[in-house]
Amino acid sequence: MRVELSSDFQKKYQKLLGDRSQALFAAIQTDSQEAFRLNPLKPNYQNVSYSLAKPIEYSPIGYFGEINGNSIDHLSGYVYSQEPSAMYVTEILDPKENERILDLCAAPGSKTTYIASKMASQGLLVSNEINTKRAKVLSSNIERMGISNTVVTNNSPKDFEKKFDNFFDKILVDAPCSGEGMFRKDPESVKYWSLDYVDQCANRQQHILDSAYKLLSPGGTLVYSTCTFSPEENEQNVDWFLKKYPDMHLEPVKKYQGMEDGRPAWGNGNPELTKALRMFPDKFNGEGHFMCKLVKDGEIEETRERMINNGVKKDDVKFVEKFAKANLNGLAETSWLKISDFLYQAASLDNRFKGLHILRNGLKLGEFKKNRFEPDIAWILALKPDDLKTVFELNAEQFEKYLHGESIILEQRPSFDNKWIGLSYQGKLFSWGRYSNQQIKNVYPKGLRR
């Protein structure tokens, strides 16, 4: 499909890039590069059906190649499709275990799930998305990847300011932008582009950066990125930010083959902008991106949680313990949180979250029903086979039937008799099954069936 570039876009980049502009325009007409990422939170996470013969140099878990969204590797959260340029943002952020990290513009979840995979289920990751529909997609992707240390919020960045002043060790602002770098991947986005739209995006990004500054702890790291070529949204915004907040400074980021320095001439001549990086598709094997690493002066200080009541009652605990005794090989001590009839392994019980619109707080374990507890699919996607008393391995025919919503009839009485079992295909857990009378009843969520 040919990308129809507007005359304003072409004139702008002919002026900025000179003769090189033709190479950029030609690159935008080529096919985008497909890539995927593995999930270290899963057992034997490299055991996937996709070729790992083309690793991405700057990502230890990234590979060039295309994945099938209906494959068991995808359904069980072993792989995540992600554009190769975008993978480098998380490597620049460099998440660590036990840090407090905020992904301020997180949907659909590509960068958040990458961040979580490097945190090893430790620390706190807050993933925020202002758009409600996109926030729900974000939450479902976090669930699929078996992530337990994340609070998913659906708020404006300003909603965080009074509650989380100087709170986060690291913040990612992957800002909503004019999307010029994604034109060939999403040709429809060209229709929304205009010179005025670029200015609108730049203004909105400044408001987001203002909030991020207030939320960042002294000594903390802020990574700012966009998927656009626009100087207004990149170098000029970073220069504006550094002038407004003199206690922030740019740190250089490592550049691999095809990555280029930020351009001081596009940012009011600020020489520090060479520490940022750009990716243009005529030189780099990926889409167009801008990224930089900003650090706030000072020392990171420990912040204590302001604990809230978790709402869990004694009878709730008994129901969960009864379920665990029958179906699990032990039950880890965690911070439980009850919301309505649902039980979560909370990522945080901090009172600061009160008043925010929370879609998910940690790992959804299940639901309390009359005199019983029923597990949620999110829990099985976060468990390992050794955590379960029984894992039943489906064959290809059974797997397809189960995904279609059918129950599995067993020809012979199995050796197990516990009611809730883990279902696996090609060695990967993907769902609960409810066993009764030589039949595994289908409990796969209707929204995931095909």
Check whether 311 has a pLDDT greater than 90: no
Cβ neighbourhood burial of 436 (10 Å; 0-12, 13-18, 19+): exposed
CA atoms lying within 13 Å on the CB side of residue 133: 0
Question: pLDDT value at position 332?
Answer: 79
How much of the chain, in percent, has pLDDT values that exceed 70?
A: 99
Average pLDDT over residues 56-66: 98
132-144 and 110-119 helices, crossing angle to 10° = 40
How many C-beta atoms lie closer than 10 Å to residue 320's C-beta? 20
Secondary structure class of 259 (helix, strand, coil): strand
Is residue 109 part of an annotated ligand binding site? Answer: yes
As a whole number, the mean pLDDT across the chain is 96
Check whether 2 has a pLDDT greater than 90: no
Average pLDDT over residues 317-324: 94
pLDDT tens digit string along 369-421? 998 999 999 999 999 999 999 999 999 999 999 999 999 999 888 888 889 99
Beta bridge partners of 63: 36, 55
Among 156, 164, 173, residue whose Cα is nearest residue 241: 173
CATH domain 388-450 topology: Nuclear Transport Factor 2; Chain: A, (3.10.450)
How many C-beta atoms lie closer than 10 Å to residue 427's C-beta? 14
Is residue 106 part of an annotated ligand binding site? Answer: yes
Average pLDDT over residues 229-244: 98
DSSP state string for 56-68: -TT-TTEEES---
CA atoms lying within 13 Å on the CB side of residue 78: 25
- Which one is catalytic: 177, 201, 227, 292? 227
pLDDT band (50, 70, 90) for residue 175: very high
Look up 177 and say whether it is catalytic. no
pLDDT tens digit string along 284-310? 999 999 999 999 999 988 877 777 778
Write out the E strands in 297-442.
Answer: 336-339, 342-345, 358-361, 363-369, 372-375, 391-393, 408-409, 420-425, 428-436, 439-441
Is residue 111 part of an annotated ligand binding site? Answer: yes
Determine how β-strand 248-251 pairs with β-strand 259-261: unpaired
Give me the helices (H) in 259-343, please.
314-327
DSSP state string for 270-287: -GGGGGSEEE-TTTSSS-
DSSP state string for 23-57: HHHHHHTSPPPPEEEE-TTSTTTT--SS--SSB-T
Is residue 129 part of an annotated ligand binding site? Answer: yes
